[in-house]
Structure formats: C-alpha cells, structure tokens
Structure 1
Amino acid sequence: MKQNNSSILYFNSNRRLAMKLTVRDISNFSELSQLTLIAGRGGLAKNVTHCGILDYEYDKDVSSKYYDYNYQVDGGFLTLTTFLYAKNNPNLIYDAVKKLVSKNGSGLIIKNIFKLPISENVIRYANHMNFPIFLLNDSHPFFEDILMLVNKAIEKYSSVYYLEQKVSALLEIKEDDIEAATCAAREINPFIQDDIISIYFRYKYNHLDTKDYLEIERIVESKGILNPESSIFLYKNGFLLIISSRQFAKNNIYDILNPYEAFFKNKAVKNFTAGVSKIHHLKEDLAYAIKESIYASSFTEEQADAPFIAFDCLGSYQAILQFSDKPSMVTYSKKYLTPLEVYDIEKNGSLLDTLTNFVKCSADLEETGRVMSQHKNTIRYRLNKIGEILGLNPFSLGDYEELALAVRIYICSNKEF
C-alpha cells in the first residue's frame, strides 16, 4: 500500500495454466496446522494463483528474490504479512484488507508476532466480502517456507489440470479432423500407441478433492501400474486412466484389464464408479474411447459387484447416448413420457418410474415388481393405465418397442457426461 510506504511482493509460477488450488487446500496443509481462521469462511473455495508478502521491503535479502507486483496481479493472490508497518497504528489493517479485497485477493495470513488487535470492523468486513483471514500465532514456519510450500502446490495442481484442459480440447475437435485428433492425443501423452482403452473413474459424491486424487496418482506410480505409453490424470469429478499399447496381447477387455484387478479393488477408489471403453486400434480414436468410458461410468446401477461397467455391455444405449440431446430425440421421448409426468404430478402417481423400471427389466413383470417392491399385479395395473393414457398396449411387441425407445432416450438424456 503506497500511502503507507509498503508494497506487496509475489512469487509467481512461470506457468499460465488453469489452477484450482484453493484457500481451503492451503489451510489444510499439515505444515500450516497452526493457522486459525478468524473471518471470511465463505471464501475458502477461492482459487490461489499467486502467493505474496506484504511489507517485505524491510527485508532486503528476501525482497530481492521476488518480483514486486505492487497489487498489479489480476486477483487470485494469497497475502502473508506481519503488519509491521501497522504496529503503531492497527487501524491501517482495515485499510489493507479493503485494498486486498478491491484487488480480488483470495485471502490473508497474519503472522501476529506484534500481538496486534484485529478490530471487529475488519472481521465484519471480511465476513461480508467472503475474504478469508487467518492468524498464525507462531514464529514458524517462516514466510519464505510458506511461499515455497504454496508455490510448489500451485505447480503441482496446475500440472494436474493441464491434462484436463488438453482432454477438453481433444473432445472439441471435429470427428473428420484426423490430423488434429492425432496431434491432440500426442499432446496428452507423446508416447501413446494405437491400441487404446479408456477407463473413467467417476466420483460418487459432489466434489473430488484434488489432494485425494493426488494420493491415487501416488499409489499408481508407486505400484508401477502404468507403462510410459499409458496415462492417469484428473478429469472433471473423477479421473481418467488411459491404457495404451502397440498391440494388446489379448482381444478381450477383461483379459487386458486383469493386471489392474488389484487397483480396481483398492480402497482408494471405493468411492468411484469405473466405466471402460471399447478397445480402439487408432490413437486418433482417443476421443471416442474417453467419451465411451465417461458414458459407461454414468450407468452406476449396472455395476453391482463388478469392478467396472463396460461400454460394450450397454446394449442399445451405445447407439443412443451421443444423440440423446438432439431435438428429434427429445421430441420423440417427450411425446410418450410427458403425459405420464403430468399424470404423476396431478395424481401423486409413479407411472413414469414404473415404465422406466419395466424397460430396464426387459419387460419382465415379476422382476419389475421385485425391483420396485410391488406385487406384479400392481405393476400390471399401472402399465394398463399407461396404455389408457397413451393409447398404446405396453404388452404388445410393437408398442413396447416405441415406449422402450422413449424411455432409453430419457435415461440417456439424464446421464451426466
């Protein structure tokens, strides 16, 4: 803050990648166990792309090592300070916090060696602006150690998300642009070979913590599971395992994945649903393989006790999945299912659920009743009611096929890619 003859120094990574290291991640580092959050809990999810020190012009030995951004960085910075310049005027702390917030700062760590009082105005403002403030009531670790710790984490997290960006770019390439698809596959792994299987591990809960993923990556590396031609990396709310070989020794996907059986059973992946693509024999087909594995992982009900869900085993869903959001498909499905949804809302019924389970159970009345914990005659009654509403006979082959297609489009359209 120039009016107080102070400046802010930021040690910034050379990489310009999407970084998702958050304030919460940093606060959970074991090396920073002495941190106490005093305000701004609502901002713990803010990203951190820089880490800097306020007032470090007083230490020439350290300040010369870092570039002086003087608040010119574009947000995302975590600030460390002792508030040395404010020790004779603690009111300057409030001004500093407002300045940091105005520059889209992500948070503030105060090493309170001068035992400065943090006013209620500061606390209220930080809470209102969701600006996390931590106190560090210990002389250790030193600021320089915290800087190195945070910036190493930024580098690590950025490399994790780098490949996610590459996959997103690959999936945007037009299907007929073989050269671009091949180049994109090599950017993901320069050693990738033509025979490919993609496995997507979809996290079953809301948010996969990057630290948890990094532990999985560590397990894979420590056990030597992957050869140089294969890859593991974070993608969306899960991670991708790309198995690649010049030529797979087996033609059966279960035989090929047999060496990975122990990994599928590892407790580190117990909260994931694994989807496996078909075997592909051209590296430019990597996008297809990735999509297939992601689609397969969305059929969680198909996994049961199996280690994974194979795209090859999804039957007619294989043909529908990539087109279920097309207007013609949506219109077809709604033509049959919207009247059932309206009936269910008005009568507090369960006709759509019954029809969906009937199709999933391959038109088996008894199995549908078992799945829904209902007598088969109850299921029969509901299906007859569906027939009345739609003017169809769910028990005739032709009408059943029309309804089954509508239901399968509906199921696929609700799958998260």
Structure 2
Amino acid sequence: MFAEHSEFDNFMLVLYLIFKRGGMMAITIYDVLKLEKFKDFKVIAGREGLTRKIKKIGILDYERDDLIEENFVEGEFVVSTLVVIKDDIEELYKLVERMILVGISGLAIKNVYFNTIPDEVIELADRENFPIMIFSNVYFEDLITSVINFIKQNEENEFLVSKIDSILYSNLDSVVIRKIAYEINNNFKEKNIVAFCKRKDIQNSIMTEIFTNVENDKSFKIISYKDGYIIINTFEKIDSDKIVGIILRRLENLGFNLEKYTIGISSLYERLGELNYSINESLYAYKYSMIYKKDISFFNQIGVNKILLPLLDNQWILKYHDEMIEPLLMYDRKNNTELLNTAIKYIENNGDIKATSQELFQHSNTIRYRIEKIYKILSKNCKRESFYEELALGIRIHNLLNMDL
C-alpha cells in the first residue's frame, strides 16, 4: 500500500530539507581553485571572499565603466588579461570598484601585461573581500569549459541529492523507492549495497568530483552527499560471501582508499525498494567509524549500535542518556574532575582497569577509585550487578549523540 503522502507533499518535504540545510549548494571560488586548471592560481587579495558563490564565468575584454554593468552579472567569475587598461594600471582601481558594485564574484588576471597590482587595489579588495588572482599558461577556453562542466555537474548532483533525501525522509513504500532509484540510475539492478565515504582531511576535498565507471559497469552511482560520497552498488547476481571483497576493490579503484577516507558500508539488500535501508546503514556505519576511530565499518558488524544509531531521536533513549550522563557532567563541573572522560575510556577499554589507567596516565588504583565514585553517583539509577552494562549503554549513547555526521 502506498504511503499517505502525495507526490506534492513529498516534493515540498524535499524542498524543506534542502533549504533547512542552507539552500541549494552552489560552487564557490574556493571550490573552483581546487580544479586542475586552477591549481597554479595565486590569490593576491580578498582571500576572505573565497567563499563567494559562482553562477557563471565570463571574459572581460574591452569592457569598462558602464559596460561592466551591461555585460556582467552578480555572481559571475571574471577572467581577463586587462588589455583594456594595459597602458594605464591606475585605472584598475576604478575597474575593481565597478566589479564590486555589480556583485562580480572575483577577478582572475592572466599575467600578459601585469604581474603585480597597486597596493591601493589590494587594500580595496581586502576590505571588500573581493578575491583577485593572477595566473599564467592556461587558456581562457580551458578555464571556461572547466567551470561550466563543474557547475553542470553540481546541478546534476543537486538533483540526485533531492532524490536521496526523498528516499530517506519521505516515508515512502518500497514501490515508490524503487521508482525513485531508477530516476537516479535506470541501469540499477535489484541487489544493492551502499558505501558512504568522507575524506579524513575535509579541507582538501572538493565538493563534487568526476569519477569514471569501474570495469564499464553502469549499474552503480556516486553521489556527493553531506560533504562525502554515497556509492550505490547494484547487482543482478552476487555471491554474498564475495561481496565485501568486490566492494573494497571497487572503492579502491575509484580512489576511496582507507588512507584518505573514512568509510561505512551497509548490509547487502535483495530488493531495490529497500534502498532506504542500505543508504541509512552506510551513514550509520560511517558514524560508527568516526566515533570509534576506525577507517572502515560494516553495519552488520557494529553490534548493539545497529539498534542505538537509528533510535537516537527517541525520547526514552534521550531520557536514559540524561539519567546516566548528566550526573557525571554536573559532578565534574562542580569539582573540576574528569569522571565522565574516565567512564568513556573505561568503556572503550571494555572495563579493563589496566588499559584505562595506561591511556589516562593514571595509577590503576586511581582508576578504581574513580569508577567506584561513578557508581555511587549513579547508584540511584542502576544496581551494582548491572552497573557496567548500564554505564556502557549510557556512554555509547553519549558518544553517538555527540558525533555529527
């Protein structure tokens, strides 16, 4: 039976989720500077404006004065040799002022006529957060093609993100999910397993990258999502005993190696209409990897966290967390102690006093004293015989709640 939501309701929900995230993603100058053709660009002014959004790219040739307003638009990224003022560099100040007034995103100067710009222009650009760059040895046509392709790819990815959000948040039944899956990729097969990968060094990541198909297989899809990548893998037939090796090889071939990426992988699902489960599981497995400092985690191997992760918004889970964690936080604040951190390390070391003492650089007796103190503080909420299990559950929930995806 279909979910009660109409298609319009689902569409509006997706729009709400997109704008709740901060609006449609747009490429910035910072993103563009990571592209291959822009790798040698030198930012000489307005560095604080590298987050300016780019809607299009254009060439400034002989335009100046009122022609700037007539030929360029807000959000446009401009490249130029400055041939229009090649004999009068002092005119650059007026030119930049016009660009700022129009709302141009930034200016990249090819050093045909100028290798430097006046200090007053640098001061203006810095004051207005207007990025100015100098480059050489790259054709304008290559820059334009690179940016246009990047913008087009970003727009396509936004469409795919809206489909993923619809699958995850619209409470759809398996028939509708299967239909949306085919809108993502009409070559999808029924069996599916999903990986979520995010760079460990997020500063060096690019919002969307171009990946080539592996082994000419078109039955999978890579989607830039939440600063990482969802990789949907589908198969007509697959040996469940070999699936892990196949997925790991595919990720490696795509460049998602464990040295650069943290990875979460879902269980294998038999029906495409269950894609909501496999995507969610990959996100949960990734979150587990982050919490427990692992390079890769498989959802079917994360133990009790398979239950806890999907329930973090449950009021009873939150109530249990507060009962077990808040008393320790309050005691630490009042007495300048570290009982909560001790409890976390104690649980992470599976109740091993010696391992906990070594990690915290404390004597074993100090750790025993702290654990006993923790029990006394929490004793009204748990009994001695179940203390470790209940503390472990509280700490697991605390770790999960305090780790953003």
Task: Give the TM-score band, short-chain normalised.
Answer: 0.7 to 0.9
The equivalent position to 1:259 in structure 2, one of 225, 228, 246, is 246
Deviates more, 1:344-353 or 1:397-406: 397-406
Change (3 A) 1:103 1:283: farther
Whole-Å separation in 2 of the counterparts to 1:87 and 1:96:
12
Mapping of 1:121-270 within 5 angstroms?
Answer: 121-136=120-135, 141-174=138-171, 176-210=172-206, 213-214=209-210, 217-218=211-212, 221=213, 223-224=214-215, 227-250=217-240, 252=241, 255-262=242-249, 269=257, 270=259
- Count of residues paired in the alignment: 377
After TM superposition, the structure 1 = structure 2 runs for residues 45-84 of structure 1, keeping only pairs within 5 Å, are: 45-55=51-61, 70=70, 73=73, 75-84=74-83
Q: Provide the rounded CA distance (Å) in 2 between the counterparts of 1:345 and 1:52.
A: 57
Give the corresponding residue for 1:120.
Answer: 119
In structure 1, the residue matched to 2:268 is 279
Measure how far apart 1:50 and its partner are. Answer: 0.4
**Helix, strand or coil for the counterpart of 1:289?**
helix
Q: Distance in 2 between matches of 1:116 and 1:337?
A: 60
Q: Does 1:377 align with 2:365?
A: yes
SS of the residue corresponding to residue 149 of structure 2 reads helix
Residue 413 (structure 1) aligned with residue 398 (structure 2): no
Q: For 1:207 and 1:183, how far apart are their aligned partners in 2?
A: 36
In the alignment, what sits opposite 1:322? 310
8 A contact 2:29–2:54 mirrored in 1: yes
2:19 corresponding residue in structure 1:
none
> Displacement, 1:248?
3.0
Q: Is the 8 A contact 1:394 1:400 kept in 2?
A: no
Aligned partners of 2:220, 2:39: CA distance in 1, in Å?
37
Paired with 1:357 and 1:261, the residues of 2 have a C-alpha distance of 31
Task: Please report how far the alpha carbon of residue 132 of structure 1 lies from its aligned counterpart in structure 2 after TM superposition.
Answer: 0.9
Residues of 1 paired with 2:188 and 2:39: CA distance? 41
Q: Does the 8 Å contact 2:63/2:84 carry over to 1?
A: no
The amino acid of 1:274's aligned partner reads I
Segment drifting more, 392-401 vs 272-281? 392-401
Kept in 2, the 8 Å contact 1:383–1:394? The answer is no
Matches of 1:187 and 1:212, distance apart in 2: 20
Rate the CA distance shift 1:393–1:369 in 2: closer, same or farther, 3 A.
Answer: farther
Alpha-carbon offset, residue 44 of structure 1: 2.3
Correspondence 1:342-357 to 2 at 5 A: 342-357=330-345
**Contact kept? 2:196, 2:286, Cα under 8 Å:** yes
Query: Given the alignment of the two structures, is residue 398 of structure 1 paired with residue 394 of structure 2, yes or no?
Result: no
CA displacement, residues 361-411 of structure 1 (integer Å, 9 cap, x when unaligned): 444445544554545433321111012223359783334443333222212
SS in 2 for 1:233: strand
SS at match of 1:47: coil
Letter of the aligned partner of 1:121 in structure 2?
Answer: E
Q: TM-score, normalised by structure 1?
A: 0.77
Give the gaps of 5 or more residues in structure 1.
1-16, 59-67
2:102 maps to 103
1:169 maps to a residue whose letter is S
**Residue of structure 2 aligned with 1:297, choices 264, 273, 286:** 286
Q: CA deviation at 1:107?
A: 0.7
For residues 165 and 95 of structure 1, what CA distance do their matches in structure 2 show? 43
Partner amino acid for 2:56?
Answer: H
Amino acid at match of 2:243: I
Contact 1:201 1:273 in 2 (8 A): yes
Compare 290-299 and 104-113 and name the one that shifted more. Answer: 104-113
Letter in 1 for 2:268: I
Cα RMSD of the aligned pairs, angstroms, is 3.5
Deviations 1:86-143 (A, max 9, x none): 457655433332232233322112345455984433211111121111234x6x5443
More displaced 10-residue stretch of structure 1: 273-282 or 177-186 = 177-186
CA distance in structure 1 between the partners assigned to 2:204 and 2:41 by the alignment: 24
Kept in 2: contact 1:197–1:242 (CA 8 A): yes
User: 1:263 & 1:179 partners in 2: Cα distance?
Assistant: 28
Q: 1:116 to 1:85 in 2, by over 3 A?
A: farther
1:315-367 CA distance string (max 9 Å, x none): 22211212213444223211221121122233332211222233344444455
Percent identity, aligned pairs only, is 28
Q: Report Cα offsets for 1:244-296 as digits up to 9, x if no partner.
A: 1234332x4xx312124445667752121221112222222212211111111
1:232 counterpart SS class: strand
Distance in 1 between the 2:57 and 2:332 partners?
Answer: 55
Q: Which amino acid aligns with 2:329?
A: E
